[in-house]
C-alpha cells in the first residue's frame, strides 16, 4: 500500500523513478547493493533525526557513509539525535528500512555529494522495494537543504 502511495505521489510531481521489488528484504545498504548488483555508493540512506524540540529532520547521505550528527546539528541550528524506530514510523509514515527520500513532509537535509550522481537508489516504501531516481528531483520536491553532513 505504501509503495503505491509513493508511486502516485511521484506521478503527481512529474517525477520518473524506477521501482525494484525483491522477494527478500533490502533493509541495509549491503542488502540493496547485493540484490541490485550495484556498487554501494549508488545507494542513499534516508534517516530520521529528532531535534531538541521534538521536530523530525530527514537526513540523506551516501550509503557508504554515516550522518555526522554534529554537522547536521549545525546545519539545522539545534542539536539532533537519531530517531527511535517508533518515531521514524510516527513522523515519516514508514518503518526503518522503508523510508524513501521523498513522499513525506519532513524537513530534509541532503549531503551535497549526492548531487554528483546521475541517479541514486533509495528506500521505496517497503523493505522489499527500492526506487531509483535523480538526486535533483529529491532536492526539488523536498526543498532539501544541501550541506556536507556525512562522515
Domain that holds residue 37: 2-147
Instruction: State how many domains the chain has.
Output: 1
pLDDT of residue 24: 87
Alpha helices in the chain (DSSP H): 2-12, 29-36, 69-76, 85-92, 135-142
CB of 133 closer than 8 Å to CB of 16: yes
Nearest 5 degrees, angle CA 2-CA 23-CA 114? 60
Coil, helix or strand at residue 75: helix
The verdict on pTM exceeding 0.75 is yes
* pLDDT-above-90 percentage for the chain: 85
Query: How many of the other CB atoms lie within 10 Å of CB of 31?
Result: 17
Segments of the chain with pLDDT less than 50: none
Identify the CATH number of the domain in which residue 127 sits: 3.90.960.10
The pLDDT, as a whole number, for residue 18 is 96
Q: In this predicted structure, what is the pLDDT of residue 118? A: 95
Look at residue 60 in the predicted model and tell me its pLDDT.
98
Q: What is the pLDDT of residue 76?
A: 96
Amino acid at each position: 500500500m505504501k509503495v503505491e502511495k509513493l508511486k502516485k505521489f511521484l506521478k503527481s510531481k512529474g517525477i520518473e523513478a524506477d521501482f525494484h521489488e525483491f522477494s527478500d528484504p533490502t533493509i541495509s545498504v549491503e542488502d540493496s547493493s547485493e540484490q541490485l548488483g550495484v556498487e554501494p555508493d549508488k545507494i542513499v540512506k534516508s534517516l530520521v533525526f529528532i531535534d531538541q524540540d521534538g521536530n523530525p529532520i530527514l537526513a540523506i547521505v551516501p550509503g557508504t557513509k554515516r550522518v555526522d550528527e554534529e554537522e547536521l546539528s549545525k546545519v539545522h541550528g539545534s542539536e539532533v539525535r537519531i530517531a527511535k524506530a517508533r518515531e521514524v514510523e510516527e513522523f515519516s509514515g514508514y518503518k526503518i528500512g522503508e523510508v524513501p527520500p521523498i513522499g513525506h513532509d519532513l524537513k530534509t537535509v541532503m549531503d551535497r555529494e549526492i548531487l554528483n550522481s546521475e541517479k541514486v537508489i533509495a528506500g521505496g516504501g517497503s523493505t522489499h522495494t527500492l526506487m531509483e531516481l535523480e538526486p535533483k528531483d529529491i532536492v526539488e520536491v523536498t526543498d532539501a537543504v544541501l550541506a556536507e553532513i556525512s562522515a
